[in-house]
Structure 1
Amino acid sequence: MNDSQSPSFSSADDSVDSASVTTADQNVGRSRSRRSVDGSQILASDQLRRWRDVFWSGIFTIHLVILGSALAILGLNRFKKNDRLNIDRYTEGILENQRGLTENYWPLYAVAGGVGTVLGWTWLLLLGSQANYMMKVSVHILTTYLAVISVLCFWGEQFFWGVAFAIGAALQFFYVISVIERLSFSMLVLQKAVKMVWSLPEVMRVACAFMFVLLLWMALWSFGAAGVVASSMGDSGRWWLLVVLSVSLFWTGAVLCNTVHVIVSGMVFLVLIHGGREASSMPPNSLVKSLRYAVTTSFGSICYGSLFTAAIRTLRWEIRGVRSKIGNNECLLCCVDFLFHIVETLVRFFNKYAYVQIAVYGKNFNNSARDAWELFQSTGVEALVAYDCSGAVLLMGTLVGGLITGTCSGVWAWFKWRDRMIMVGSTTMLMGMVLVGLAMVVVESAVTSIYICYAEDPLLIHRWDAEFFNQMSEMLHQRLQHRSARAREVLTHDRLDSMRETIPV
């Protein structure tokens, strides 16, 4: 539902007044005079680039080396022979279970890798040809799929997971209901982003290359995970190891996804700045430069941002959905608003739009996130960004892909090793989400670049697609008017309250 039904609003809403709305509204449809975007300076000079957030790139690299060694040891210890490396002595005293071999479970992870890859690229291909239909499927199928898996878990006497998936289905249902009126605009933005991506086949080739790199890492990761599932230690020990491995896979997958994000964002920004990929002013070897910067000088910023951005974004979406449904329960509203303001503060320093600034200007992550958010707020475009839920729609597609992947491997495990089904299903679901997410990030990168370009200079969007520019401008005008009306309403309400307090009864 429209967020106008919420009785409170964010700090950005609190600070907006009629004058700021008018100023921001006048900026729609014309260039921001405060800033001139010079395309010839973007990705043009190596001396302008410095290594950023080097500490985090070092941490990530050390983490890969240590974890890669541990994965190889865990997998080899059960490969074709029980306790090949004689490390079971370290688990003495832990509850023993039936022993297995790595090769018993490794094929299940191979299936997950294949299914996740096929789903990711199939989803992307269908977005190119049937964008509107596929995005509607992403929104509505997730609730149904979560509910079905919940029923299957209860039927298999897995009550904890049944409750977990049931709660997930309920949260997803309420979130969709809360943003149903925003979906038409979000679908429009996603369709234009898909159009942009499909006009740049070179970025698709880069995404394919990174998918191959991710699959190579997953081959090693799944080898170690299969060794953990086959180990003789108790369930608690295996679960703790799998949680550690899953956190590592999530971070590694996020780093690869955001590396693609930076590369694609840089290319889309250049195309919009120069008026097309065939423009004579387009810098030579721009894709190669963007790739080189992403894996060298900006890699530390990518590693740093990948730790926090996804979790904060998801939390922000959920809290926004809850706030729009609270009504007049002031106690609950106070608690949710407290959390909301904390998350909004974090968003200033951890947001996906930072990757565009990293790609274009080579800043560190925190400065990039802060500058992107300040750019949105100073131009009023933050109202449009807050209204758009295209990122949530892409996340729904990623979750569906992960659930289908986990289901395929989990069903196979059910028939062969029933006591290992949940372990295999949950870890392969994460593999599927990472693989599908890598395909989805190509579209999300185009969305973020479109918003940054619109905030920098709306005429860039007008030159690319005049009809889309008019639709964005009209929606921004509506959102700014809506915020202005809400600000006046709250000010009036506060004045009436103060008058009641001063008038004696």
Structure 2
Amino acid sequence: MQPSIENEISERLLGPESVEDHTLPSITISDQDPFGPGNAAVDDFTADPRQTVGGGPLRAEAQQPEYRDAPFAIAFVLHILVVLFLAFGWGVSALRHDDEEVNNGVVTDEDSVSLSGLLWLCFFTSLGSIAISAVSLKVMTHHAETLIQSSLIASCCMMGFLVVAFLMDGLTIMGVLWLVMLLMTVLYAYYVWGRIPAAAANLRTALSAIQTNGGVCMLAYGIAFLANIWVLVWCLAFVGVSFKESSCVNGVCQSHLNALSVILLILSYHWTSQVIKNVLHVTVSGVVGTWWFAPQDCSSVWSPAIMDSFSRATTYSFGSICMGSLLVAVIQTLETIARNARRSRDGNGLLLCILECILHLLSRVAKYFNKWAYVYVGLYGYDYLTAGKKVLELFEARGWTTIINDNLIHRCLVLVAVVIGAITGFVGMLLAKATGWATAAVGENSDGTVFFLCFIVGVSMAIILMGVVLSAVDTIIVSFAEAPSEFETNHPALYQNMVEKWRIAYPDEF
């Protein structure tokens, strides 16, 4: 029987059991040229296969297949069954009742034609967006540094435009606020400009891993389709609960949803959305990890590593994904409640605003923890809490707390998604003019509406692919912190590029 991918990765990480543990070497800056050969700090970075943190191994090891955090997976599945019952048991009945009450369920042929035209337009523009996104990966690979620089410049230009626009309209307060934000963005750009080469190297490596395993992108679109189906099912469940908790007088019905039903429905929405998103994140981490440690198992468009990683994410690690996702979902639910309460203007607006800000901050902290924890879940199969603890210990031992807080790549990917959306909007506008698909729905002079609709479609499809890239970048950073020697052996050209750029950007940490 051939060894599993987890065991093979473990062997590559840990080597023979007879190898002794060592302690993490201290990295000091001396008068010696940090970029030249013979630098002990840099040499030690890749020389030691079994470094340690606090007496324990710095390198993680692949865990034996086991269902981890299983109670959370069971709770999630039961909750999905309840939502399905509410949707198809109560929601369908509610829609049938509405069909009988409104126009006796009659839909004209004209309505069907106008709707079908828009659907065809959205379908073809979404396909075009996928094609444009695929081309953008190639462009980013060769021009990553320029794109990151452009994202910072574009942010400053956009804020400058808003400052001028608000001041010209006499909205002085808004103009001053955006001016302050512009100055802060300029200072941020000045501070991080020297780190752009390292961020570009990370992005280039992540893109290389994704392009080698292009099937993971198609899997991402499949998961996104599932997420859209979930939104429809959830809406149907919400309609069903509203219908059951409504009262009708003389044919007029009013919903009387109680607070508990609303809270549970909101929690269900956020929890499932987070689970779907994190399943993809864990899957991408597993694929990129295999590419890093065992490239022979991850060298085709639809390599076995893709389905192996996806199957682990939806079985053994599914409980861990549900656990971390529930933490974020609870915070997001409380944030939603606080936001809606503040908008009701019941006299406690200031306190609710403060509470909303605190909950938003907690949500960002939880998402930040999940982002790194799920990389370890995807790589090694740890349970949720152990994975988060180990990956943060790794960064602390390396002294990389500054490195992992950079968001340069995220800014770059947002810019790319907006550009893809703009191109898609323009193509959709031309397609609508040529076919007349949008005329029946939005009228003759509909260029602006069609452009906006296709822009939203394009950005949505691009963001799916950019999410895969971000997950790959996170995995690259963790793997580079933990196993640079394997990277040098399996991908020497990419390794050389990353080492060169990181030495320039982070002379103190690297």
Equivalent AA in structure 1 for residue 233 of structure 2 = L
Matched residues in 2 for 1:111 and 1:167: separation?
43
Equivalent AA in structure 1 for residue 215 of structure 2 = E
For 1:178, which of 175, 181, 188 is the aligned residue? Answer: 188
Report 1:13-412 matches (<5 A). Answer: 21=28, 25=42, 27-34=44-51, 42=62, 48-71=64-87, 73-74=90-91, 77-78=94-95, 81=98, 118=127, 121-122=130-131, 124-131=133-140, 132=143, 174-175=184-185, 178-179=188-189, 181=193, 182-221=195-234, 248-277=268-297, 285-307=304-326, 346=365, 350-387=369-406, 389-394=408-413
Alignment partner, residue 498 of structure 2: 472
Report 1:407-486 matches (<5 A). Answer: 436-478=462-504, 481-482=507-508
Equivalent AA in structure 1 for residue 488 of structure 2 = H
Alignment partner, residue 488 of structure 1: none
Q: Deviations over 1:315-368 (max 9, x none)?
A: xxxxxxxxxxxxxxxxxxxxxxxx9xx979957982412222112221111211
Matched residues in 2 for 1:113 and 1:219: separation?
17
Equivalent AA in structure 1 for residue 74 of structure 2 = G
Equivalent AA in structure 2 for residue 30 of structure 1 = A
Matched residues in 2 for 1:172 and 1:235: separation?
46
Q: Deviations over 1:98-122 (max 9, x none)?
A: xxxxx9x999997998599558634
TM-score, normalization: structure 1? 0.57
Residue 38 to residue 247, structure 1, CA distance change in 2 (3 Å): closer
Residue 175 to residue 352, structure 1, CA distance change in 2 (3 Å): farther
Residue 375 to residue 242, structure 1, CA distance change in 2 (3 Å): same
- Following superposition, the deviation at residue 415 of structure 1 comes to 7.0
Identity across matched positions, percent: 20
Matched residues in 2 for 1:401 and 1:446: separation?
20
Q: What 5-or-longer segments of structure 2 have no aligned partner?
A: 1-24, 30-39, 103-111, 247-251, 332-357, 429-437, 444-451
Structure number with bigger Rg: 2
Say which structure, 1 or 2, has more relative contact order (CA 8 Å, 6+ apart).
1
Matched residues in 2 for 1:250 and 1:166: separation?
35
Alignment partner, residue 32 of structure 2: none
Residue 118 to residue 442, structure 1, CA distance change in 2 (3 Å): same
Equivalent AA in structure 2 for residue 457 of structure 1 = A
Contact kept? 1:193, 1:447, Cα under 8 Å: yes
Residue 122 to residue 143, structure 1, CA distance change in 2 (3 Å): farther
Matched residues in 2 for 1:140 and 1:83: separation?
56
Residue 261 to residue 54, structure 1, CA distance change in 2 (3 Å): same
Between Structure 1 and Structure 2, how many residues are aligned? 390
Matched residues in 2 for 1:310 and 1:165: separation?
35
Residue 378 to residue 55, structure 1, CA distance change in 2 (3 Å): same
Contact kept? 1:120, 1:440, Cα under 8 Å: no
- Following superposition, the deviation at residue 460 of structure 1 comes to 2.2
Q: What 5-or-longer segments of structure 1 have no aligned partner?
A: 1-17, 86-102, 154-158, 313-338, 417-424, 485-505
Contact kept? 2:151, 2:412, Cα under 8 Å: yes
Matched residues in 2 for 1:415 and 1:112: separation?
13
Equivalent AA in structure 2 for residue 256 of structure 1 = I
